[in-house]
């Protein structure tokens, strides 16, 4: 019998964040406004999804021959989509280019980034900042140890509630950028209150996960 995987709970004024420990970025926000049955369904969907980061890493190893360490993926969009589409029930649904610029501390930059990536879950990311900053620091350290020649990124898993139908939906985002962005990231001291200027672009590739479906969606081009 498979042992249940552990996860973390961060309580906020409006509800609770459920998130996987370490660099397996998987998130669900459980609102206090939901009824008990909806909260239960969302929690169960999150627990079921905890195994998926391991499955995704295995798919990357099989299709691209790469080991994923501390959440760092060294794949471009087509290679990542090939890996994701090899998983039963996983399919690409779209991709969007993003651009951020401004200045701030490592913590405020992390908060802005995750606030944008997790916006669809409606919860305030501020209570998770200690965890998020620590894991971004680990990702940064891995980038320093690796050779980023082209693209690099990380995977975010999101368990959300479908409007009106009130059923849990599991999606994943591959958030990746260029080696130029990697050069900037490694210069940021995650433990410092120093302000840094930033101006970078990244791409978010969306994948839906439905284990009852074996539909494969063809990769699309961005830009």
pLDDT digit string, tens, across residues 172-209: 999 999 999 999 998 888 777 889 898 989 999 999 99
User: pLDDT band for position 133 (50/70/90)?
Assistant: very high
As to burial, measured by CB atoms within 10 angstroms (0-12 exposed, 13-18 middle, 19+ buried), residue 66 is middle
Distance (Å, whole) CA 153 – CA 26: 15
pLDDT in tens, 67-108: 999 999 999 999 999 999 999 999 999 999 999 999 999 999
Which overall architecture, per CATH, does domain 8-209 show? 3-Layer(aba) Sandwich (3.40)
Judge whether 176 and 73 are in contact, CB under 8 Å. Answer: yes
Distance (Å, whole) CA 16 – CA 11: 4
Distance (Å, whole) CA 181 – CA 192: 19
Distance (Å, whole) CA 61 – CA 67: 6
Torsion angle in degrees (nearest 10) through CA of 196, 197, 199, 204? 30
Distance (Å, whole) CA 88 – CA 209: 8
């Amino acid at each position: 019998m498979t042992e249940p995987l552990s996860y973390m709970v961060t309580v906020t004024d409006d509800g609770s964040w459920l998130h996987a420990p370490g660099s397996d970025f998987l998130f669900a926000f459980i609102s206090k406004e939901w009824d008990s049955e909806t909260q239960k369904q969302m929690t169960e969907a999150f627990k079921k999804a905890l195994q998926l980061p391991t499955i995704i890493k295995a798919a990357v190893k099989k299709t691209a021959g790469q080991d994923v360490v501390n959440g760092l993926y060294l794949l471009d969009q087509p290679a990542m989509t090939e890996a994701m589409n090899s998983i039963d029930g996983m399919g690409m649904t779209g991709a969007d280019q993003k651009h951020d610029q401004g200045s701030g501390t490592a913590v405020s930059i992390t908060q802005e980034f995750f606030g944008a990536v997790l916006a669809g879950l409606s919860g305030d990311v501020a209570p998770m900042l200690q965890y998020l900053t620590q894991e971004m620091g680990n990702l940064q350290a891995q980038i320093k140890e690796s050779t980023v020649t082209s693209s690099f990124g990380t995977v975010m898993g999101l368990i959300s509630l479908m409007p009106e139908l009130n059923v849990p939906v599991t999606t994943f985002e591959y958030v990746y950028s260029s080696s130029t962005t990697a050069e900037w990231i490694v210069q940021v001291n995650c433990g410092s209150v120093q302000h840094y200027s930033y101006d970078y672009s990244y791409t978010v590739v969306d994948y839906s996960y439905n284990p009852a479906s074996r539909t494969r969606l063809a990769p699309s081009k961005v830009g």
